[in-house]
Amino acid sequence: MFNSMFGRLTGNSSAPKETEEEKSKVFEENFIELKSRCNVLFSADPSQTHTESSMRRFLRAFGTIDNAFNHIVKYNKWRREYGVDRLSSEDPDILEEMAVGKVHLLRTRDLKGRPIIHIAARKHIANERDLDKLTKYTIYMLELTCQRIDESVIDNMCIVFDLKNFCMANMDYQFVKKLIWLLGRYYPERLGICLIVNAPVMFSGCWTIIRPWLNEVTASKVTFVNGEEQLCEYLNPDGLPPSDV
């Protein structure tokens, strides 16, 4: 009894920790329940249904059956109301953002088979952008990238932020918050890794502000890359756009 009380007081509980096998079993049981709920709700409109992979991502991201189910419903509503499936390169707002050339969906993939979005931060001027247009373009690019994901290999993407020649005029905290919100709410578990390359010393102050906006899981996916040798651990640098483009 004393040992049990002492364990509770010191945080060293003698209760056995849940094993990975037990966690996996609980997850699968929750997934079956989530799938059942979705099948019932969307039976009248099959276009609203999600793949098993999608439901698993929502369950991993939001933790409980109720949270995952509610976010799936909100996600479907958002896609319908925002007109996500109607976004195209013929949209004037998207054409305008494309012309800037700061975001590229690369033809190559990273070493784990993820499609790569490359962002040249130096081409983004915070006080010249229209947040609504940029958000629309970001959703369009995320959709294109998701279409390129081969889920038989891996179900997430790689985002590369190239900070070469970065200056404070390029720093856009409002948009960074928007991107984090979009990825977390509507593209859960789609970010596999975020590589930050060529970061100048001044960016450390920016990162101090940004880091608290990320949960621990997302923050663990952000890697600062120091040099080409380290970059080769994640992708082939030859596949990146030239730094002067």
Residue 207: DSSP 8-state: H
Distance CA 67, CA 149 (A): 25
Spell out the domains of the chain, with CATH numbers in brackets: 2-82 (no CATH), 87-238 (3.40.525.10)
- Judge contact between 175 and 133, C-beta under 8 A: no
Q: What is the pLDDT along the chain (245 residues), one digit of tens a residue?
A: 434 433 444 445 455 677 888 999 999 999 999 999 999 999 888 888 899 999 999 999 999 999 999 999 999 999 999 999 999 999 999 999 999 999 999 999 999 999 999 999 999 999 999 999 999 999 999 999 999 999 999 999 999 999 999 999 999 999 999 999 999 999 999 999 999 999 999 999 999 999 999 999 999 999 999 999 999 999 999 999 886 55
8 Å CB contact between 179 and 207: no
113 touches 170 (CB < 8 A) = no
pLDDT given at position 46? 83
How confident is the model at residue 6, as a pLDDT? 36
How many CB atoms within 10 Å of residue 22? Answer: 11
Least Cα distance to 210 among 245, 161, 144, 165 occurs for: 161
**What pLDDT is stored for residue 33 in this prediction?**
97
C-beta neighbour count of 32 within 10 angstroms? 11
**pLDDT, position 245:** 55
**Cβ–Cβ < 8 Å for 121, 166:** yes
pLDDT at position 60, please?
A: 96
- For residue 88 the two structure tokens come to 């195209």
The pLDDT score that the predictor gives to residue 2 is 35
Nearest residue to 69 via CA among 82, 54, 84, 81: 54
Place of tokens 């060293």: 12
pLDDT score for 20: 86
Of 134, 226, 127, which Cα lies nearest the Cα of 167?
127
Contacts of 241 (CB under 8 A, 6+ apart): 104, 106, 118, 120
pLDDT of residue 125: 96
Instruction: Write down the H helix ranges in the chain.
Output: 2-10, 20-41, 52-62, 65-82, 92-100, 131-148, 173-186, 203-210, 216-219, 228-231
Unique residue bearing structure tokens 């101090």: 208
222 forms beta bridges with 194
d(CA 46, CA 194) in angstroms, rounded, equals 34
Q: What is the pLDDT of residue 15?
A: 53
